Amino acid sequence: MAGLTVVSRYRVNRNQDTRKMAEEPLPIVLVASGTATAAMDTYRFIEAECRRQLPGHPVHWAYSSRAIRRRMRAQTGEAPATPQKVLDQLSRAGCRRAVVQSLHLICGIEFHHLVWQAAQSPLEVHLGLPLLSHPEDFDAVLDWVDGIRPTTDGEALVLVGHGTDHPAWMAYALLARGLAARFGHQVMLGQVKGEPTPAAIAKRLIASGYRRAQVRPFMLVAGAHFMQDISGRRPTSWQAQLEEHGLTVLPQAEGLGRHAATSRLFCRHIRDALHRPPLHLD
């Protein structure tokens, strides 16, 4: 797994008393790519769930995507915080340790940038891994899909992820294999930047007897990618291309972050991080 490969490259301080660290209400820094849309409500939902499941821990936010931070600043007039800025602020406030929880879905480019920023922080940082980092994470996502997939005959579910050219793309392939093994062609996974294409998925669904398809973003929020690349009438959108191939498309404007199961998974990663020594890079 991509996430396990990343973890194996960390040099950890084995002399730390991890039981003591787990008991202290360390600040938690939630790091998301960011969004310049109304999907910001999803972040509030995640924060509320984290506060409920991890009471006593102060929660802070940081945003990892430079492009999205620029758009957020243009909208609000305020510069969204970077992970480095938040960690520096915590250090100046007297904190010695913090948990940094990635809200990315895979251990891709933005996550690796986050690792370097966290390792260079003056704080001791306990790093929580992205959503799909362990085999049990994939099992949990498959269980979540089982609860949202259509129950109507002839109706399928198409999940559309962001995609990446980072070697972590294999996480998408592994999830797609798990979906196929458990749900056959009823649930399929595509990518905005990657394979399979909308045309390929439409052909498989129609050949399997499906004529309707719910389309959901396999992303934390249903933000700009959902509105521009997945739904809508632009000829390049997934909705338009699936409809062009004969499917009736039902867009579902709901990201993964709106489901409590996702927050539970991230909170499990936070607890795992609390029980691991802080990271150091060789």
Rounded Cα gap, residues 76 and 74, in angstroms: 6
Helices H / strands E in the chain, number of each: 12, 10
Asked whether residue 35 carries a pLDDT value surpassing 80, the answer given is no
- Secondary structure class of 79 (helix, strand, coil): coil
Domain 2-133+259-281 has CATH 3.40.50.1400: yes
* Residue 184 token pair: 């056959």
Whole-angstrom distance, CA of residue 158 vs CA of residue 249 = 10
Task: Cite the residue boundaries of each domain of the chain with CATH code 3.40.50.1400.
Answer: 2-133+259-281, 135-254
pLDDT one-digit tens code per residue, 139-180: 999 999 999 999 999 999 999 998 877 877 889 999 999 999
Structure tokens at 180: 């196929």
Is residue 174 helix, strand or coil? Answer: helix
Q: What is the pLDDT of residue 223?
A: 81
Q: Return mean pLDDT, the chain.
A: 87
Q: How far apart are CA 170 and CA 213, in angstroms?
A: 25
Segment 246-260 mean pLDDT? 95
Q: What digits encode the pLDDT tens for the residues 43-73?
A: 999 999 999 999 999 999 998 877 777 777 7
What pLDDT is stored for residue 37 in this prediction?
66
Residue 105 has pLDDT above 80, yes or no: yes
* pLDDT confidence tier of residue 23, bands split at 50, 70 and 90: low
Mean pLDDT, range 188-201, rounded to an integer: 92
pLDDT value of residue 38: 66
Q: What is the CATH architecture assignment of 135-254?
A: 3-Layer(aba) Sandwich (3.40)
Q: Is the pLDDT of residue 22 over 70?
A: no
Q: What is the mean pLDDT of residues 24-40?
A: 82
Q: What is the pLDDT, as a whole number, of residue 6?
A: 35
For the residues 228-252, what does the mean pLDDT come to? 93
> 108-136, pLDDT tens digit by residue?
988 999 999 999 999 999 999 999 999 99
Note the pLDDT of residue 233. Answer: 83
Report the share of the chain in percent with pLDDT over 90: 68
Cα dihedral sign for 19, 21, 24, 30? negative
Task: Kindly tell me if the per-residue pLDDT of 14 is higher than 90.
Answer: no
Is 5's pLDDT higher than 50? no
